[in-house]
Amino acid sequence: MRAPNSLMRLLKSGVIVATSLLLTACSSLQLAYNYAPGLIAYRANAYLNLDETQQALLDQELVTFTAWHDETLPRYTATLNAWASRLSNSEPFTGPEILAMQETIEQQLQTIGTRAASQLAPLLVTLGPQQVKQLQSKFTDGNEEYYSDYLKNSDSPSNIKKRHARLTKRFEDWLGTLSPQQRKILITVSDNRAPIIEAWYSERKLRQQALIQLIQTQRNAPPAQARQAFEDYLQSLNRYREPILNTQRDKLRLEWAQATAEVLNAASSEQKKYLQKKLRGYAQDFAALTPKKIAKN
C-alpha cells in the first residue's frame, strides 16, 4: 500500500525516517536526514498550499519532532546491526522469524507515527475546505496512476512482466542480482497475489477517505482532541478496512514472510555480504547522526 509523496505516507511513516529513506537513492542518509524537514515542508505546501501562519506552524512542529526523533536513532542502529549479524548465522530463516522482524519495524513506525500525529494535528485542524479539496485532488491523481500501473489491463503479458519487475527490483536493491531460483519464488508470490490487487486499490481509497473525513470533522477542534483523533487513525492502519483483505490478513502476512525467508535462505555469500554492508552502512549513518544532533543542540 504505497502512496508516494502523500500526506498519508508522511503520517504513517513518521515523517523524517520515511523521507530520509526515500532520499538515500541519490544521496547519503545523513544528508537526507539533515534536509528532510525542508523537503517535508515543501511537499506539504505542494499538497495543501499552506498560508503563512500554517507554514510557520509546520516549521515549528518539525523542529520539535526532529529534536524528539534524534533521541530514537540509537534504536535503529541497534536493530540494523542485529539483523546484519543474523546473516552470519547459518540457521535458516523462517516465516515466523521474518514476521517478528516486520513487527519490530511496525512497532518503531507506530511510535514515530504517533509522535508525528501529535505534532501535525495542530496544523491539520486548521485546513480549510479548499485545502482539503486540493488534498483530495492529489489523492485522486495518485489513485489514477496506481490504477494505470496495477489494474489497467492487468492480465496483459506486458503488465504482468512489469509487476514481476517491480517486485524483483525491490529485492535487488538489498541483495544485488537475484538468482533464477529467487526470481521464481518472488514471481510465484506475485502471481498468487494478483487476484487481490483490486482489493488493495479499494483499501487505498478507503484509508484516504477516512483521513479526509477525519480532517473535516476535527477542523478547529481542541488540540488534545485532535491529537487523539489522529493517533486513533494511525492505530487503525494496523488493520484493513477492505473486508477481503481483513479476512486474509494473517495469511497474506505469513505468505509474504515465508517468501522473504526462502529468498534469504537461497542467498549466496556475495548477496549476504551485500545486504550486510547495506544494513551496517545505514546503522553507521544513524549512529553518526546522533552525536552530531546533540552537539548542535
The single-letter DSSP state of residue 237 is T
User: Span 139-162, mean pLDDT?
Assistant: 86
| Cα distances (Å, whole numbers) of residue 113 to 185, 206, 227, 241 | 32, 19, 12, 19
Q: Rounded mean pLDDT of the chain?
A: 78
User: Span 114-121, mean pLDDT?
Assistant: 74
Residue type present at position 88:
S
Q: Which of 225-229, 249-253, 267-271 has the highest mean pLDDT?
A: 267-271
Place of cell 473535516: 216
Q: In the prediction, which pLDDT does 171 show?
A: 92
For the cut 50, the answer to whether the pLDDT of residue 11 exceeds it is no
Q: In the prediction, which pLDDT does 264 show?
A: 95
Contacts 24+ apart (CB under 8 A), 243-252: 244/196, 244/199, 245/196, 245/199, 245/200, 245/203, 248/196, 252/193, 252/196
Q: In the prediction, which pLDDT does 29 show?
A: 40
Quickly count helices (H) and strands (E) in the chain.
Answer: 14, 0
User: Span 100-124, mean pLDDT?
Assistant: 77
User: Span 85-105, mean pLDDT?
Assistant: 91
Q: In the prediction, which pLDDT does 92 show?
A: 96
**What share of the chain has pLDDT > 90, as a percent?**
26
Cell for 294?
546533540
User: Span 97-109, mean pLDDT?
Assistant: 83
Residue (of 149, 144, 267) closest to 208 by Cα position: 144
Is there a contact between 37 and 66 (Cβ–Cβ < 8 Å)? yes
Q: In the prediction, which pLDDT does 34 show?
A: 46
Q: In the prediction, which pLDDT does 177 show?
A: 95
Over residues 60-93, the pLDDT tens digits come to 776 676 666 666 667 778 888 999 999 999 999 9
3-class SS of residue 51 = coil
For the cut 80, the answer to whether the pLDDT of residue 192 exceeds it is yes
> Between these two residues, 265 and 193, which has the higher pLDDT value?
265
3-class SS of residue 111 = helix
